[in-house]
Amino acid sequence: MELTITILLFLVGIVLIIKGGDYFVDAASWMAEVSGIPKVIVGATVVSLATTLPEMIVSVIAAVDGKVDMAVGNAIGSVTANIGLIMAISLIFMPAVIDRKDYVPKSVLMFCASLVIVASGRAGNIGLFLSGVLVILFALFLIENIRSAQNSVNKNPAALKAAEYTAAVSAPAPKTGTEKSVVMINIVKFIVGAAGIVVGANLLVNNGSELARYIGISERIIGVTLVAVGTSLPELVTTITAIAKKQSSLSIGNILGANIIDLTLILPVSMICAGKPLPIAASSASLDFPACLLVCSIAVFPMMITSRFKRWQGFALLAVYAVYLVLTCTA
């Protein structure tokens, strides 16, 4: 009976994080827009940051509670799941021809961040220096995001609609206006969304730890599997929506952006909140981090050469992710 309750609370945590994330992104986007920030900038910064908030809160709470393996596992596992599972699904159903200049800078940043993560595994912890390097990569990502969004709109006014569509698919389109009722609705959404993410993250971390204890596996395994996939569900929903609307570039762009933020921001913030370097388990350094680097390589290097995301990449990514899960659960 106790195990059933633990599983139910774990699932409730996932639901709260997803719905809370929806409300939070909706309200944050509205607040940014009414403040006068151009929509294209809102889509490139506010929405990108807000959609990764669930992973951020889960890892921060886990790190502060001393569940470092789960914090690190969630951050890295989310990236591996985003590419090995979610991007794989997108490429299998919707391979795409792309403009390299739109994707190469973000792809390079994601790969560099993966290399820094692997280096942290070799070092044995995420400390101040490596955290600083990751934050610099995050700043470069924001600058590149804003630059590319502005250039796209300047060169092609129709791109503004595409940028607005990106924000709309990443989150429900917020109501605009400054009427008292609209203001109150969005304030309530912001508060309820933030509360839902925090409460859901607590349920996810605490009951994830209990599940690990019941099953007899490490918190790291729960972090890189159940927690990582659970917090990546918003990206999966975005991908499914993009596939239905035949917007392959939206799906891939959303995943790349989410991965860069996951890699460059979550662990440094978790380290700061924990107040000390985050130790890296040997199993993470030898399996989780190389797996993350491998799926990143499969996703971006063929694209840089051919200017295409091909279907075989999707199958290759899915196969690597399946092998990784088997090795993780049997190690």
The backbone torsions φ and ψ at residue 111, rounded to the nearest 5 degrees and listed phi first, read -65, -40
Give me the pLDDT at residue 289, please: 94
pLDDT bracket for residue 271 (50, 70, 90): very high
Q: Give the domain ranges of the chain.
A: 2-330
Note whether 149 and 40 are within 8 A (CB): yes
Percentage of the chain lying above the pLDDT 70 cut: 81
The one-letter amino acid at 210: E
Give me the pLDDT at residue 171, please: 47
Question: How confident is the model over 35-59, as pLDDT tens digits?
Answer: 666 655 665 566 667 777 788 888 8
Residue 223's closest CA among 21, 76, 46, 25? 76
Mean pLDDT of the 207-235 span: 81
What is the pTM assigned to this prediction?
0.80
Note whether 130 and 120 are within 8 A (CB): yes
Give me the pLDDT at residue 112, please: 94
Give me the pLDDT at residue 193, please: 84
Dihedral of the CA atoms 330, 12, 30, 266 (nearest 10)? Answer: -30
Q: DSSP state, 99?
A: -
Structure tokens that stand for 174 in this block: 């917020």
Note whether 309 and 98 are within 8 A (CB): yes
Which is more confident, 101 or 319? 319
Taking each helix axis as running N to C, give the angle between helix 233-244 and helix 2-34, from 0 to 180 degrees, rounded to the nearest 10.
60
pLDDT at 105 over 70: yes
First to last CA, the chain: 29
pLDDT at 246 over 80: no
| Superfamily classification of domain 2-330 | NCX, central ion-binding region (1.20.1420.30)
Total residues found in the chain within this entry: 331
Taking each helix axis as running N to C, give the angle between helix 100-123 and helix 128-155, from 0 to 180 degrees, rounded to the nearest 10.
170
Which is more confident, 198 or 119? 119
Question: How confident is the model over 187-201, as pLDDT tens digits?
Answer: 888 888 888 888 887
